[in-house]
Amino acid sequence: MIKAGIIGSTGYAGGELVRILSAHRDVEIKWFGSRSYIDQKYASVYQNMFQIVDAVCMDDNMEELANQVDVIFTATPQGLCASLVNEDILNKVKIVDLSADFRLKDVSVYEQWYKLEHKSPQYIKEAVYGLCEINREDVKKARLVANPGCYTTCSILTAYPLVKEGLIDPDTIIIDAKSGTSGAGRGAKVPNLYCEVNENIKAYGVATHRHTPEIEEQLGYAAGHPILINFTPHLVPMNRGILVTEYATLKKKADGTLPTYEEIKVAYDKYYANEKFVRVLDKDICPETKWVEGSNYVDVNFKIDERTGRIIMMGALDNLVKGAAGQAVQNMNLLFGLPETEGLELVPMIP
């Protein structure tokens, strides 16, 4: 039985970790960390857990936690994990960090986009970027996993095969992303009130959103060189789900024609045919966030526009599952040698 601790267990991603881990047969949650609710019953904060979780909320003492558990999940604001981690802790436990602290390899990029000083840059190099489908083998050997962002997971997996195979010009990539409101977190802020979000859609963080450099870095590895993209997130009146619509110019073949549907499909299948959690949909079926709700799936598909020579790629996932807690558990499974799908065979819920 793996003993797990969660720092930040009363945020939405933390709550989702509790939901998934409490049904995982190899895991026992020993520590429900939540600075805001210390000493209160966890089930009084998340009443869905009444008679399921009996524990009270604890603080975020990572030193003490490292003595009690085998794996620590940090579902906390940027900066916290980096400020707490040290060699002693890393020698005792595995850490899956759901924040951005160890996602970007260049600390100056982190500090520029996040406006924060990084407190433990010495672990950045060691940390493994936990996009399981791409970095599976490295994750297995890691001490510290940087769990990817929700927009990022969706954006990268949707375009990865075409970038990797050189089928599109990566510098033409434009990502228009739409997210449910749980992505904004559980903080009490006016813009996240029901009446402000409901019956409304807006873009935000235009040309400045922090997930941009993360996408650029990872797709840059696939391209073999640094790339620049446009990424625009939007807030959608729904609880869960991310949909990305990605545009890129197809590279013409030697004979001057565009790649065919079948040629593109082969590229997707090369990378995803054996991936349980990435579903390449049938021709002309557009992904919908509802089809993956509550599950660890990413649904992807694409459409070629012969008129403009562009391809439109689409991807959908549940931002709290494959975009956060589900992927964190997938990483945990890899870290502890469990079947990668253990506890994650969640059937999407409709309606």
Q: Which residues are catalytic?
A: 150
18, containing H or E segment: helix 12-21
Return the ∠ at Cα 144 (arms to 114 and 227), rounded to 5°: 50
Task: Please identify, using beta-carbon distances, which residue of 63 and 193 lies nearer to its own copies.
Answer: 193
DSSP calls for 256-269: SPPPPHHHHHHHHH
Q: Which is nearer to its own copies, 76 or 289 (CB)?
A: 289
Q: CB-based contacts of 334: which residues, under 8 Å, 6+ apart?
A: 132, 136, 139, 140, 340
Tokens 């406006």 found at: 115
Q: Specify the residue, 295 or 333, whose C-beta has the smaller distance to its own copies.
A: 295
Min CB(229)–its own copies separation in Å: 7
CB-count burial class (<10 Å; 0-12, 13-18, 19+) for 325: buried
**Least distance (Å) from its own copies to the CB of residue 291?**
4
- For residues 269-278, one letter each, b for 16 or more C-beta atoms within 10 angstroms of the residue's C-beta and e for the rest, the string is eebbeebebb
Nearest partner of 239 among 132, 171, 323, judged by Cα: 323
Nearer to its own copies, 190 or 254 (CB): 190
Q: Least distance in Å: CB of 306 to its own copies?
A: 8
Provide, rounded to whole angstroms, the least separation between the CB of residue 90 and its own copies. 31
| Choice between 48 and 67, CB closer to its own copies | 48
The rounded distance, in Å, linking the Cα atoms of 257 and 283 is 20
Residue-wise burial string across 130-151, b where 16 or more C-beta atoms lie within 10 A, e elsewhere: bbbbbbbeebbebbbbbbbbbb
Rounded least distance, CB 80 to its own copies, Å: 20
